[in-house]
Each structure stands twice: as C-alpha cells, then as structure tokens.
Structure 1
Amino acid sequence: GAIRPRVPVVSAPQFPAAEEVLRRQAERLSAPLHIVEPLPGNMPLGLAGPHQRINAAVALHAWQALAPRLHVTPRPDAVARGLARAFVPGRLQSVPATDQHPPLLLDGAHNAHGMAALLAHVRQSGLRPRAAIYSCLGDKDWHPALMLLKRALGDAPLFIPALHNERAADAAQVVAAANAAAPAHATLLPDVRNALDAVRDLPGDDRAPVIISGSLYMLAEFYGLYPHLLEQPASARGAKEDA
C-alpha cells in the first residue's frame, strides 16, 4: 500500500511470495522496483549486525535515487564517511564495563524477528552472555522472543524488571513464562536499576556482556540512568573518521 504510481521502490530481499506481491503492485503502478543486496563486507559500517548491512544498503540506494530529484550529486567520500560513522543507540550497542556495570549489549528487540537478529550477532561475534535483562510491552508478541533469548542464555541468569509504563507486560507473568521451561532461573525485580545492581557482581568472564533487550521503553529507563550513552563515544567517532 505504500507504493505510489511511477515512484521508485527500494526493498531489501524478501521471501519469494512477498517479493512477488511487491513486483505485481510495482508493475501495476509503473513504479521501478529495486531489490538491493547488502553492503559489501569491505565497506566500513558503524552499525553492528549483518541485518544492518542490508538496512544500510536500502537507505543508500534510496538516497542515490532521491538525490537527483533534489539536484544533489552524492559524493562517494561523504557516503563512505556517513556509513562508517552511523550510530543508533539501542541497536546492538556495545557498552564497555565501568565500576557501575559490567559490559553491556543493548538492543531494542521486541519480537522474534528482532531477537533472532540480536542473537545471530551474538553467535557470529563469539560472545557468551553472562546474563540478560529482559522486559517488554504487553501488546507485543513477547513470548517467542523471550524463549529465543532464554534458549541462547543456557544456564546464565535472566532478570525481568517491571517497567514503569501502562502498556508494560505483567513482569510476574513474563517470569512465570520464562521459568515454565527449564532451567528456572528468571528473577522478578522492581525496576531496571535493581536489575543492573543484580548483574554488577555476577561471577564469570569479565569480558562477557549482559544483554539488555525486549523493549525500547526499557532502554529508555536505562538511558534515564546513563543518558551519556545516547551519544556516540568520541573515541569511536574519531576512529571511524580515521578509517
């Protein structure tokens, strides 16, 4: 329904049935359809995760299609710099350890598709999470995402803080759903601050991150405690500029 007559359409690769729907509608409306491939592996990208390489390719192709209509000529050096410096807080954001918290991996995955992308990055990076903090909204399909996360954690603990949001899922129900499948190691906590306290002194590899995921609303409560993490670290910006 978003396709407009004679307006170019840019899409990531789709399942065949979905792509056929796009192709039929684009043809019916004489809208040029472009199915793009991921950015090549040798092109630096500031965003982690294989899914972000296709997201970036879609954005780049759309910009290249739009630029002539704006009488702008894309500059390859500016494009490369923009991709390398790309930063979105709460999207596979790695946070180094401090005296206040262990290393963290922040991601707003709130459904099975997003959680699968998060865990694919964890596997490909060779990470073994020390624990996870998970909370969610009640109107999202949170149970499949929770089960994916629990399976990936293995014996590592899972902490479920209550969210201060009227749309939040009942944290006690989330804990019960998590503990219905062995091992039963999900713990209910009153808020995100208490969850961070719980993971601070966990045993294990000091380099192993704690995953914080399940809702952007939970990440908002986390950023309320650490607002500086909404900004890209200056060291990362400098490194990407040098690259």
Structure 2
Amino acid sequence: MKRQRTSWKAGVKKRGSCAPVPCLLAATGARSENLEPRTGASQFQDAIRTLNTLQTNASYLEQVKRERGDPQAQLEAMKGFLERSGLKVEDLDQLNIIHVTGTKGKGSACAFTERILRNYGLKTGFYSSPHLVQVRERIRINGQPISKELFSKYFWQVYNRLEESKVSEHPAMPAYFRFLTIMAFHVFLQEKVDLAVMEVGIGGAYDCTNIIRKPVVCGVSSLGIDHTSILGDTIEKIAWQKGGIFKPGVPAFTVPQPERPLDVLRERAEKSSCQLYLCPDLDAFEEDGKPLPLGLAGDHQRSNAALALQLSHTWLGQQGYLDIGELKAPWLSSELPAKRSPPLAPVFKPGEAMLQGLQEAVWLGRNQVLHHGPVTWYIDGAHTTSSIQACVRWFRKAALNEEKPADGSEVRVLLFNVTGDRDTAALLKLLLPCQFDYAVFCPNFTEVSTVGNADQQNFNVTLENVLTRCLQNQSHWNRLMEAKEGTDPWLSASPEVEGVAGWLKQAPLHGPQLFFPPSARPLNANSLVFPCISKALQWITQGRDPHFQPPASRGLHPHPAASSGAVLLKEAATIQVLVTGSLHLVGGVLKLLNPSLSE
C-alpha cells in the first residue's frame, strides 16, 4: 500500500515507525551507584571521558586477538553487545536504513543523501565517522550533531545497561566505535527518525554496522587502496569487503569503478541475490549542459552526488513517497539482470527538493575554503592515493582562481599528517605539483597536552611515536625535494628512528616549538616539524590570521628555515595553506580556526 504523497515544502506526516524500546527505557532508572554521573556539562564530560576508556579496553584487545582469524565472530560479538544494550537486530529494521560504504567519498555521498531527504520534510538520522571536533558529530538528527544533553542521556543509558548485563566470559564493554554504533541505533529509535543514513566504518563485510539485516538501499562510493592490514592489499580484496553489505532483494548502487573491482562487486551482488546498478554520470541529469550546483567543491564530488541521487530517489520510491510509475525501477522485477556488467540505473528528472539538497549539502573538512584576511585555508581530509589526487586537482584549480597579489608575494604552505599503514612517501609525491614553499608536519594533537580536550584524546598513541612518524614524513619530503631539485638533503638516512625520546627529555613539552635532529643541523630545507597543531598554525600564520591569535612565541626558532620563513610569511601579501591528510588533523585545525565548532 502506498504512503500518502506530500509536498516536499509542506513536509510529510509523521509515521511514528520507530517506537521507543522498553528495555532501554527501563535501563535509565537502573544506574549503578558508582556510575551515577553528575549533571549538566559535567555529565557530558564524564560521558566523553568514560567513552575514551573504551579506546584501550584491555579485555577487548584480547578479544580482537582471538577473533582476528574469524571476522564473522566480530559480527556475532556485536550482536551480543546490541542485545545486552536492550535491542534486537530485528529492531533495526524499523530505521529504514540507507547503508553506504566505499574507500573515498562515502561520507560526502551520505551528506548529499541526508540533505536531499531532509528537504522532503523527513526526520533524518545520520551516523558517520570520524568526528572532526566533537564526538557528537558522529550522531546527527536533521543534519545537526545531537545535543550534549541527548548525548549524555543516551550514553549513560547504553553504558549502564551493558555494565549491568556483563558476564565473566565476555568483555563488559564494546570498543569505542562499536559502542557509538550501538548508541546511534538507540538514539535513532528513541528519537523516532524517519530514516537513518549509516556510513560504514571500515570495509563492510565485517564492519560492526553490518549487523543491519534489511536496509532499504545500499551504496558503494569510489574504491581504492586503504586499510590494507584489515581489508587486504589489493583493490579486489577491498571490493570483496565492501560488497559484504549487499543484502537479498535490496537494491544497491555503485559509481563507475575499475573493471576488476567492479567484477568483484557484481559477483558479490549475485551471490547475495542483490540487484546492483551503476549510477549514470551526473551530466545525465543536467539540462542543456548546465552543471548542477553542488554544495561540496571539487569535480570528484559529482560521482558522490550522482550516487546520492540514486540512493535518495530509490528510498523515496521504496517507502512510497514517489509514485512507482515515476520511479520506473527495474529492481521491482523478481529476476536478476542477466548482463555480466551491472546495468545503468534509470535516469530521472530530479525534483526541486533534490536539486536544493545537492546545492545545500555541507560536509566540513572536505574541499573547504576559509578566507581569513591574507591567509586562505584549503582544507581537505584526503589520505588515500586517489583522494590525494583529487585534492591536488581541487587545490590547484581553487588556488588558481584566487586573485594574485600585484607584487607577486605569495607563499604557499602544506600542513600534512597521516596515520596508520599508509604509504606516506607515495602520498607526498602526489603533492609535489602544488609547488609549496614550505611543508609543515605535526601530530593530530591540537595541543601537546590534550587534558581538557576529551573529544580529541587518543589513548592508543604516544607523543613519541607520533613525532617519530612526523619526522619520517619530513624525511620523505626532503628526499622528494632532493630528487626534484637536485639539492643535498640536510637529513641523514633515517635519523628520525633514533633519538626522539632523547629530544623529548632534553626539551620540556612547553619549550622549543620545533623538532630537528641535533646531529644534522638544517641549512636550507623548507620543511618543519612541530609538536602539535597549535604550534604549527602559530608559525604558519605569524599572527596574520584574524581568527587565530595565539600567545606570543617563547624564544627564537633555532631552525634557519623557520626564521627565514617567518620573515617571508610576515611580509607576503597572501598565504595559501593546504591542510590535508588525516581527518583528525583537519578537525584539529578547524577547532582552532573556528572555536564555535566546540560549543
């Protein structure tokens, strides 16, 4: 039976499909004495600090070791945690889920999709990761992070229910990401959203979001090489993991992919009795060759927008908000497509709500430009080969469009960091065409001490090992510059591997702002390493960004490049800064440049 259609401007009638779960509500009054949090802001901070302890849950780490050879056990464990929290897997069917995976662009595709559907008057839930500034960003209702009050409420409901239902033979608590996923399900059910857009964490097949049984529609954004230690070292293996979200009878869409991973996706879809379709290019939806305006910059966002159109259009058709006659959906047939290659999804005329959704979509930290006086920030969390390539294309195009100073005094700076098992040298090589005057490397910490900044605490790393990684990145960059320009590098072979702990002992954390090997004094290398984002921004901006006014620097920089660079930065008519790599780095930069994001 079709649902009543309504104007997207007038909104839709509330369906009330997501009834509160009695088991969870009962848990709210059963909080243990020793877990009783305080009220207001203190309650929220207590929740964040308690959540952070799940990053290094010792019993969970032991469980991961046991389950490493049996990924299916991870999903079974997730189901167990879900049930202990007061939900059954079947309860998730009420959420009318759109499930999206991919290597790059899946967050942007989700952002486009959520914004489109919100324009139809629907109450949307949106679960994504990682967060940039505050963990509340991961769980959104109607595009906004849930309030601190709601976060605290649902955190303690779920946490205490899990605490009270623990048994000795299993870990008491799920790890950080699993916990937040379970919490998101509770939030969306209790707050009665009309739909939930769920972004996969890593992979798909064994990602904890894959306990979802019956999504309305699935999507796969562009594939590439990332998280190889978990997903495999070939794009085919990665495609196999991503295709693990396909479900019987559930339509799925993907953007154009290389032939081999596309074959893997098709095979996964066939084995799952899932009907997979290729998204037509966005130009198929454009009239008279006039490009559709998108809220997210960069040519690569066009494929994400095309995926979002199919996901939202299909969801609206399947849920009865569009006439079936309008949809003309080939997946309504009981037979799977006979073609070896996935067929193209139907082209339709996007309505006003869809067009406005594409134009109004916002996704911070992705192809974002901030004009702060003489300093222009280009911010894009890109940490794979393909996403860095897209970032370079976007940055060069955007920078070229900026008005040049009459005297030509323009300084271009790279701020970069990556984590995990990524090939930093390969990523940095792709950035060479941007012709940076300086390359700056720092960890993802906003300050050397993260006390009081619980949202960005990471107990799984130490200052020593992240600084070692930054020095390795600097070494890679200097070698690339040497090869490009034929100059002598000032760094000796792998000096960063030894002596980092010694430098930290010799220099207190509030002391020198710049790290360099004492055995190799720099001569003219234009690369610098700072111990935190704040110190890096302080040097880059030299007090010229009206949105970032740090305290006066203590002492002089011993690095010649730092001293000469400071003069150039102070005198330049314009400073262009590309911030790229880790999304955690991007989040730290945004937090410092726009403190309101922390409110």
User: Given the two structures, how large is their TM-score scaled by the length of structure 2?
Assistant: 0.35
For residues 86 and 209 of structure 1, what CA distance do their matches in structure 2 show? 25
Q: Is 1:62 matched up with 2:298?
A: no
SS across alignment from 1:121 = helix
Tell me the residue number matched to 1:185: 526
Tell me the residue number matched to 2:579: 212
Tell me the residue number matched to 2:259: 16
Tell me the residue number matched to 2:393: 120
Residue type of the alignment partner of 2:318: R
For residues 111 and 29 of structure 1, what CA distance do their matches in structure 2 show? 29
Q: Is the Cα–Cα contact under 8 Å of residues 89 and 230 in structure 1 kept in the other structure?
A: no
SS across alignment from 1:181 = helix
Q: Please list the CA deviations of residues 27-64 of structure 1 after superposition, one character each: whole Å capped at 9, or x if unmatched.
A: 34442221113323521111111111101111110111
Residue type of the alignment partner of 2:372: A
For residues 6 and 222 of structure 1, what CA distance do their matches in structure 2 show? 43
Tell me the residue number matched to 2:360: 85
Q: Please list the CA deviations of residues 165-185 of structure 1 after superposition, one character each: whole Å capped at 9, or x if unmatched.
A: 544462112111211222542
Q: Is 1:171 matched up with 2:467?
A: no
Q: Is 1:223 matched up with 2:590?
A: yes
Q: Is 1:135 matched up with 2:378?
A: no
Tell me the residue number matched to 1:157: 438
Deviates more, 1:132-141 or 1:20-29: 20-29
Residue type of the alignment partner of 1:222: V
For residues 115 and 155 of structure 1, what CA distance do their matches in structure 2 show? 15
CA apart distance, 1:124: 3.5
Residue type of the alignment partner of 1:44: P
Tell me the residue number matched to 1:241: none
CA apart distance, 1:223: 2.3
Tell me the residue number matched to 1:52: 301
Q: Is the Cα–Cα contact under 8 Å of residues 442 and 536 in structure 2 kept in the other structure?
A: yes
For residues 108 and 230 of structure 1, what CA distance do their matches in structure 2 show? 17
Residue type of the alignment partner of 1:36: C
Deviates more, 1:113-122 or 1:165-174: 165-174
Identity of matched residues, %: 28
For residues 384 and 307 of structure 2, what CA distance do their matches in structure 1 show? 22
SS across alignment from 1:182 = helix
For residues 205 and 116 of structure 1, what CA distance do their matches in structure 2 show? 28
Tell me the residue number matched to 1:240: none
For residues 26 and 138 of structure 1, what CA distance do their matches in structure 2 show? 30
For residues 181 and 122 of structure 1, what CA distance do their matches in structure 2 show? 20
CA apart distance, 1:205: 5.4
Q: Please list the CA deviations of residues 79-109 of structure 1 after superposition, one character each: whole Å capped at 9, or x if unmatched.
A: 11111011110000000123xx710000111
Deviates more, 1:46-55 or 1:170-179: 170-179
Tell me the residue number matched to 1:234: none
For residues 413 and 383 of structure 2, what CA distance do their matches in structure 1 show? 18
Q: Is 1:27 matched up with 2:394?
A: no
For residues 299 and 536 of structure 2, what CA distance do their matches in structure 1 show? 29
For residues 272 and 352 of structure 2, what CA distance do their matches in structure 1 show? 35
For residues 579 and 294 of structure 2, what CA distance do their matches in structure 1 show? 23
SS across alignment from 2:280 = coil
Structure with higher Rg: it is: 2
CA apart distance, 1:225: 1.2
Tell me the residue number matched to 1:71: 320
CA apart distance, 1:126: 5.4
Tell me the residue number matched to 1:39: 282
Unaligned runs of 5+ in 2: 1-243, 284-289, 324-349, 403-410, 446-457, 483-524, 543-568
Q: Please list the CA deviations of residues 146-182 of structure 1 after superposition, one character each: whole Å capped at 9, or x if unmatched.
A: 2212x12335210112333544462112111211222
SS across alignment from 1:170 = helix
Distance 1:228 1:69, change over 3 A: farther
SS across alignment from 2:274 = coil
Q: Is the Cα–Cα contact under 8 Å of residues 89 and 229 in structure 1 kept in the other structure?
A: no
For residues 577 and 270 of structure 2, what CA distance do their matches in structure 1 show? 47
Tell me the residue number matched to 2:95: none
For residues 301 and 596 of structure 2, what CA distance do their matches in structure 1 show? 20
Deviates more, 1:155-164 or 1:58-67: 155-164
Tell me the residue number matched to 1:239: none
User: Given the two structures, how large is their TM-score scaled by the length of structure 1?
Assistant: 0.82
Q: Higher relative CO (CA 8 A, sep ≥ 6), structure 1 or 2?
A: 1
Size of the aligned set, in residue pairs, is 227
For residues 103 and 19 of structure 1, what CA distance do their matches in structure 2 show? 39
Q: Is the Cα–Cα contact under 8 Å of residues 252 and 274 in structure 2 kept in the other structure?
A: yes
CA apart distance, 1:143: 2.8
For residues 176 and 213 of structure 1, what CA distance do their matches in structure 2 show? 18
Q: Is the Cα–Cα contact under 8 Å of residues 130 and 205 in structure 1 kept in the other structure?
A: no
